[in-house]
Homo-oligomer: A and B are copies of this chain.
Amino acid sequence: MAEKELPGGYRGPGPGEIAVVGLGPGGEEEMTPRARRALERAQVVVGYRTYVDLIAPLVKGKEILISGMTAEVDRCRQAVERAAGGARVALVSGGDPGVYGMAGLLLEILAAHPRAKGIKVEVIPGVTAATAAAAALGAPLAHDFAAISLSDRLTPWEVIASRIEHAAAADFILVLYNPRSRGRPDHLRRARDIILRFRSPETPVGVVRNAGRKGEETWIRDLATFLDLPVDMASTVIVGNSRTKVVDGRMVTPRGYRL
Protein backbone atom coordinates (compact mmCIF):
# COMPACT_ATOMS: atom_id res chain seq x y z
CA MET A 1 0.00 0.00 0.00
CA ALA A 2 1.47 3.34 -1.01
CA GLU A 3 1.94 5.89 1.74
CA LYS A 4 -0.23 8.93 1.27
CA GLU A 5 0.86 12.41 2.28
CA LEU A 6 -1.97 14.20 4.02
CA PRO A 7 -2.31 17.98 4.17
CA GLY A 8 0.35 19.46 6.43
CA GLY A 9 2.73 16.70 5.44
CA TYR A 10 1.32 14.17 7.90
CA ARG A 11 1.34 10.60 6.83
CA GLY A 12 -1.51 8.48 7.93
CA PRO A 13 -2.22 6.17 9.54
CA GLY A 14 1.10 4.47 10.44
CA PRO A 15 3.46 5.59 13.17
CA GLY A 16 6.00 8.30 12.42
CA GLU A 17 9.50 8.89 13.63
CA ILE A 18 11.52 10.95 16.09
CA ALA A 19 15.03 12.23 15.54
CA VAL A 20 16.67 13.48 18.72
CA VAL A 21 18.96 16.02 17.15
CA GLY A 22 22.18 17.32 18.72
CA LEU A 23 22.65 20.85 17.44
CA GLY A 24 26.21 21.17 18.74
CA PRO A 25 27.26 24.39 20.48
CA GLY A 26 24.89 26.52 18.45
CA GLY A 27 26.41 27.94 15.32
CA GLU A 28 25.49 26.33 11.99
CA GLU A 29 29.23 25.92 11.42
CA GLU A 30 29.36 23.32 14.18
CA MET A 31 26.21 21.36 13.29
CA THR A 32 26.80 18.09 11.48
CA PRO A 33 25.23 17.47 8.06
CA ARG A 34 23.35 14.55 9.62
CA ALA A 35 21.72 16.87 12.16
CA ARG A 36 20.90 19.42 9.50
CA ARG A 37 19.30 16.80 7.29
CA ALA A 38 17.13 15.59 10.15
CA LEU A 39 15.87 19.14 10.72
CA GLU A 40 15.11 19.57 7.04
CA ARG A 41 13.25 16.27 6.95
CA ALA A 42 11.15 16.99 10.05
CA GLN A 43 7.54 18.18 9.86
CA VAL A 44 7.36 19.10 13.54
CA VAL A 45 10.19 20.62 15.57
CA VAL A 46 10.02 20.36 19.37
CA GLY A 47 12.42 22.19 21.65
CA TYR A 48 13.44 24.64 24.31
CA ARG A 49 13.15 28.22 23.08
CA THR A 50 16.90 29.07 23.19
CA TYR A 51 17.81 26.15 20.95
CA VAL A 52 14.94 26.60 18.54
CA ASP A 53 15.94 30.24 18.14
CA LEU A 54 19.44 29.15 17.14
CA ILE A 55 18.09 27.19 14.19
CA ALA A 56 15.18 29.45 13.24
CA PRO A 57 16.26 29.97 9.60
CA LEU A 58 16.56 26.20 9.10
CA VAL A 59 13.09 25.30 10.33
CA LYS A 60 11.08 28.20 8.93
CA GLY A 61 7.59 27.19 7.90
CA LYS A 62 7.53 24.01 9.95
CA GLU A 63 5.25 23.43 12.89
CA ILE A 64 7.27 24.43 15.95
CA LEU A 65 6.44 23.49 19.54
CA ILE A 66 8.40 25.57 22.01
CA SER A 67 8.52 25.17 25.77
CA GLY A 68 10.46 26.43 28.79
CA MET A 69 13.64 25.17 30.36
CA THR A 70 12.10 22.84 32.91
CA ALA A 71 9.45 21.38 30.61
CA GLU A 72 11.61 18.48 29.37
CA VAL A 73 8.99 15.85 30.16
CA ASP A 74 6.29 17.78 28.27
CA ARG A 75 8.54 18.11 25.24
CA CYS A 76 9.21 14.39 25.10
CA ARG A 77 5.50 13.57 25.45
CA GLN A 78 4.64 16.03 22.67
CA ALA A 79 7.25 14.44 20.44
CA VAL A 80 5.89 10.94 21.09
CA GLU A 81 2.29 12.02 20.56
CA ARG A 82 3.02 13.73 17.27
CA ALA A 83 5.05 10.77 16.05
CA ALA A 84 2.26 8.41 17.13
CA GLY A 85 0.01 10.45 14.87
CA GLY A 86 2.30 9.79 11.94
CA ALA A 87 4.55 12.86 11.91
CA ARG A 88 8.27 13.12 11.40
CA VAL A 89 9.44 14.90 14.54
CA ALA A 90 12.77 16.52 15.37
CA LEU A 91 13.33 16.87 19.12
CA VAL A 92 16.20 19.31 19.34
CA SER A 93 18.85 19.44 22.07
CA GLY A 94 21.84 21.74 22.52
CA GLY A 95 25.29 20.18 22.26
CA ASP A 96 25.01 16.41 22.25
CA PRO A 97 21.51 15.09 23.04
CA GLY A 98 22.92 12.22 25.10
CA VAL A 99 24.95 14.36 27.54
CA TYR A 100 22.52 15.90 30.04
CA GLY A 101 20.25 16.24 27.01
CA MET A 102 16.90 14.98 25.77
CA ALA A 103 17.78 11.52 24.43
CA GLY A 104 17.56 9.54 27.66
CA LEU A 105 14.30 11.06 28.80
CA LEU A 106 12.72 10.58 25.38
CA LEU A 107 13.65 6.88 25.35
CA GLU A 108 12.23 6.41 28.85
CA ILE A 109 8.97 8.15 28.00
CA LEU A 110 8.68 6.31 24.71
CA ALA A 111 9.04 2.94 26.44
CA ALA A 112 6.15 3.74 28.79
CA HIS A 113 3.83 5.39 26.27
CA PRO A 114 0.73 3.46 25.18
CA ARG A 115 0.90 4.79 21.62
CA ALA A 116 4.64 4.33 21.03
CA LYS A 117 4.46 1.11 19.03
CA GLY A 118 6.26 1.32 15.72
CA ILE A 119 7.73 4.78 16.17
CA LYS A 120 11.28 4.86 14.84
CA VAL A 121 13.82 6.74 16.94
CA GLU A 122 17.26 7.94 15.95
CA VAL A 123 19.71 9.73 18.25
CA ILE A 124 21.98 12.10 16.31
CA PRO A 125 25.13 13.08 18.20
CA GLY A 126 26.56 16.59 18.24
CA VAL A 127 29.65 18.43 19.44
CA THR A 128 29.15 18.54 23.21
CA ALA A 129 29.86 21.60 25.40
CA ALA A 130 32.85 19.90 27.03
CA THR A 131 34.82 19.60 23.82
CA ALA A 132 33.59 22.88 22.32
CA ALA A 133 34.79 24.66 25.46
CA ALA A 134 38.03 22.69 25.53
CA ALA A 135 38.82 23.67 21.94
CA ALA A 136 38.28 27.33 22.76
CA LEU A 137 40.70 27.06 25.71
CA GLY A 138 43.40 24.96 24.02
CA ALA A 139 43.51 21.28 24.93
CA PRO A 140 42.65 20.82 28.60
CA LEU A 141 40.80 17.48 28.04
CA ALA A 142 43.73 15.60 26.56
CA HIS A 143 43.71 13.09 29.41
CA ASP A 144 41.12 11.25 31.50
CA PHE A 145 38.28 13.49 32.55
CA ALA A 146 35.02 13.46 34.51
CA ALA A 147 31.90 15.35 33.48
CA ILE A 148 29.73 16.46 36.40
CA SER A 149 26.60 18.60 36.48
CA LEU A 150 26.38 20.92 39.49
CA SER A 151 22.60 21.13 39.21
CA ASP A 152 20.85 19.49 42.16
CA ARG A 153 17.43 19.75 40.55
CA LEU A 154 17.43 15.99 39.84
CA THR A 155 20.44 14.74 41.81
CA PRO A 156 21.05 15.18 45.56
CA TRP A 157 23.98 17.46 46.40
CA GLU A 158 25.62 14.66 48.43
CA VAL A 159 25.93 12.53 45.27
CA ILE A 160 27.37 15.48 43.34
CA ALA A 161 29.83 16.25 46.14
CA SER A 162 30.97 12.64 46.34
CA ARG A 163 31.62 12.58 42.61
CA ILE A 164 33.63 15.79 42.76
CA GLU A 165 35.66 14.34 45.62
CA HIS A 166 36.42 11.07 43.85
CA ALA A 167 37.24 12.80 40.58
CA ALA A 168 39.59 15.20 42.35
CA ALA A 169 41.23 12.39 44.35
CA ALA A 170 41.92 10.35 41.20
CA ASP A 171 43.40 13.35 39.37
CA PHE A 172 40.74 13.51 36.68
CA ILE A 173 40.32 16.73 34.76
CA LEU A 174 36.85 17.97 35.76
CA VAL A 175 34.28 19.39 33.36
CA LEU A 176 31.53 21.14 35.28
CA TYR A 177 28.20 21.49 33.48
CA ASN A 178 25.47 23.81 34.82
CA PRO A 179 28.06 25.42 37.09
CA ARG A 180 26.03 28.27 38.51
CA SER A 181 22.50 29.65 38.43
CA ARG A 182 20.51 32.10 40.50
CA GLY A 183 18.91 29.22 42.39
CA ARG A 184 22.26 27.80 43.48
CA PRO A 185 24.85 30.56 43.50
CA ASP A 186 27.08 28.70 45.95
CA HIS A 187 27.57 25.26 44.35
CA LEU A 188 30.61 26.30 42.37
CA ARG A 189 32.41 27.53 45.48
CA ARG A 190 31.55 24.31 47.32
CA ALA A 191 32.87 22.29 44.38
CA ARG A 192 36.04 24.37 44.33
CA ASP A 193 36.60 23.85 48.06
CA ILE A 194 36.34 20.07 47.67
CA ILE A 195 38.79 20.09 44.76
CA LEU A 196 41.25 22.25 46.74
CA ARG A 197 41.61 19.44 49.27
CA PHE A 198 43.38 17.45 46.53
CA ARG A 199 44.82 19.99 44.15
CA SER A 200 47.04 23.06 44.31
CA PRO A 201 45.45 26.54 44.27
CA GLU A 202 47.54 27.21 41.13
CA THR A 203 45.74 24.48 39.17
CA PRO A 204 44.55 26.07 35.90
CA VAL A 205 40.81 26.58 35.49
CA GLY A 206 39.23 27.51 32.18
CA VAL A 207 35.81 29.06 31.80
CA VAL A 208 34.00 29.39 28.51
CA ARG A 209 30.73 31.21 28.14
CA ASN A 210 28.67 30.60 25.00
CA ALA A 211 31.20 28.05 23.75
CA GLY A 212 31.10 27.76 19.97
CA ARG A 213 28.43 30.38 19.48
CA LYS A 214 27.97 34.10 19.13
CA GLY A 215 29.41 36.02 22.06
CA GLU A 216 31.89 33.31 23.03
CA GLU A 217 34.14 34.41 25.90
CA THR A 218 37.04 32.50 27.45
CA TRP A 219 39.06 32.97 30.62
CA ILE A 220 41.98 31.03 32.03
CA ARG A 221 42.61 31.49 35.76
CA ASP A 222 43.38 29.10 38.62
CA LEU A 223 41.52 27.41 41.47
CA ALA A 224 42.40 30.25 43.84
CA THR A 225 40.91 33.03 41.74
CA PHE A 226 38.36 31.79 39.17
CA LEU A 227 35.27 32.26 41.36
CA ASP A 228 35.22 35.97 40.51
CA LEU A 229 34.48 35.23 36.86
CA PRO A 230 30.94 35.79 35.53
CA VAL A 231 30.14 32.06 35.39
CA ASP A 232 26.51 31.33 34.54
CA MET A 233 24.27 28.58 33.07
CA ALA A 234 25.67 29.26 29.60
CA SER A 235 29.19 28.54 30.88
CA THR A 236 31.34 25.43 31.06
CA VAL A 237 34.10 25.22 33.66
CA ILE A 238 37.14 22.98 33.15
CA VAL A 239 39.45 22.31 36.09
CA GLY A 240 42.85 20.93 35.11
CA ASN A 241 44.52 17.86 36.61
CA SER A 242 47.83 18.01 38.48
CA ARG A 243 49.79 18.32 35.22
CA THR A 244 47.64 20.83 33.35
CA LYS A 245 49.51 24.00 32.48
CA VAL A 246 49.12 27.26 30.67
CA VAL A 247 51.21 27.42 27.52
CA ASP A 248 51.31 30.63 25.48
CA GLY A 249 47.95 31.64 26.90
CA ARG A 250 46.31 28.27 26.24
CA MET A 251 45.27 25.60 28.74
CA VAL A 252 46.94 22.27 27.96
CA THR A 253 46.97 18.92 29.74
CA PRO A 254 50.01 16.87 28.66
CA ARG A 255 49.38 13.25 27.77
CA GLY A 256 52.85 12.18 28.76
CA TYR A 257 54.76 12.12 25.50
CA ARG A 258 58.52 12.61 25.84
CA LEU A 259 59.37 15.70 23.86
Which A residues are within 8 Å of any B CB, using their own CB?
22, 24-25, 27-34, 37, 72-73, 96-101, 103-112, 123-128, 131-132, 134-136, 138-149, 154-155, 159-160, 162-163, 165-167, 169-172, 212, 247-248, 250, 252-257, 259
Residue of B nearest to A127 (CB): B125
In the complex, how many angstroms separate the beta carbon of A174 from the nearest chain B beta carbon? 10
Q: List 29 A-B contacts (CB under 8 A).
A: A27-B34, A29-B34, A29-B37, A30-B32, A33-B33, A97-B135, A99-B141, A100-B142, A104-B139, A104-B252, A105-B142, A107-B248, A108-B259, A123-B134, A123-B135, A123-B139, A125-B134, A125-B135, A126-B127, A127-B127, A144-B155, A144-B160, A145-B146, A145-B147, A154-B257, A155-B256, A163-B172, A166-B167, A167-B172
Complex partner residue of A33 from B29, B73, B138, B140, CB under 8 angstroms: B29
This chain: copies in complex: 2
In the complex, how many angstroms separate the beta carbon of A160 from the nearest chain B beta carbon? 8
Contact A142/B104 with A127-B96, A131-B126 known, Cβ cut-off 8 Å:
yes
In the complex, how many angstroms separate the beta carbon of A136 from the nearest chain B beta carbon? 8
A98 pairs with B140, CB closer than 8 A: yes
Contact A256/B123 with A32-B31, A103-B135 known, Cβ cut-off 8 Å:
no
Complex partner residue of A253 from B32, B104, B166, CB under 8 angstroms: B104
In the complex, how many angstroms separate the beta carbon of A246 from the nearest chain B beta carbon? 10
Q: Report chain B residues within 8 Å CB of A159.
A: 171
